[in-house]
Amino acid sequence: MKYLCLVYLAPDVWNACPDSVCADYGQTLKTNGKLIDGQPLHPTSTATTVRVRNGQLAITDGPFAETKEALAGFYLIDARDLNEAIQIAAKIPPAKFGSIEVRPTRELVVDEMPRATPDNVSRAAAAAGP
């Protein structure tokens, strides 16, 4: 099951964790088949927020909301259950300095099409007529 681990850091600890340490951990997860993707982010000063209301595009400088701890990066992981996801998140190096939000992902719900089986097909063919 997939979990998104969002790394949040306050400004004073933004650089507390060296990239090499994060990279090492990412590599470990990859080797264990737990990492699907992960990226660090530029600081929130580089963010741009886009909204569309009533057909109008609004562009603002900065993150969608100013928070004490800001989004610094993410790890998309594959774990057996929440307990394993928590264990993985706990070892994310910035966890010592900030907060890691662990959120389960879900599949998009798309309209179900009945699967084609031999019965369905011949019944449909019969119903369709000559």
Partner 1 sequence: MPELARVRAEIDNVYRKDSRKIFATLIRLLGDFDRAEEALADAFRAAVEKWPTEGIPQNPASWLVSAGRFKSIDKQRREKRFDHLEDRPDVSEALADESARPDLLPELLEDDRLRLVFTCCHPAIAPDAQVALTLREVCGLTTEEIAAAFLTPAPTMAQRIVRAKGKIRDANIPYQVPSREELPQRLDSVLRCVYLVFNEGYSASRGDSATRADLSSEAIRLGRLVLELLPEPEVRGLLALMLLHESRREARATADGELILLDDQDRQLWNRELIAEGSALVRAALTTRSVGPYALQAAIAALHAEAPTPADTDWSEIIGFYDILMRLTPSPIIALNRTVAVAQLHGPALALEHLDGLLADGALDNYQLAHAARADFLRRLDRHAEARDAYTRAIALTAQGPARRFLEKRLAALPDR
Work out whether 109 is an interface residue with partner 1 (CB under 8 A).
no
Interface segment toward partner 1; rule CB under 8 A; list 12-20, 33-41, 70-78, 108-116: 108-116
Smallest distance from the beta carbon of 74 to partner 1, in angstroms?
17
The size of the interface with partner 1 (CB under 8 A), counted in residues, is 12
- Three-class DSSP labels, the chain: CEEEEEEEECHHHCCCCCHHHHHHHHHHHHHCCCEEEEEECCCHHHCEEEEEECCEEEEEECCCCCCCCEEEEEEEEECCCHHHHHHHHHCCHHHHCCEEEEEECCCCCCCCCCCCCHHHHHHHHHHHCC
Work out whether 37 is an interface residue with partner 1 (CB under 8 A).
no
Work out whether 1 is an interface residue with partner 1 (CB under 8 A).
yes
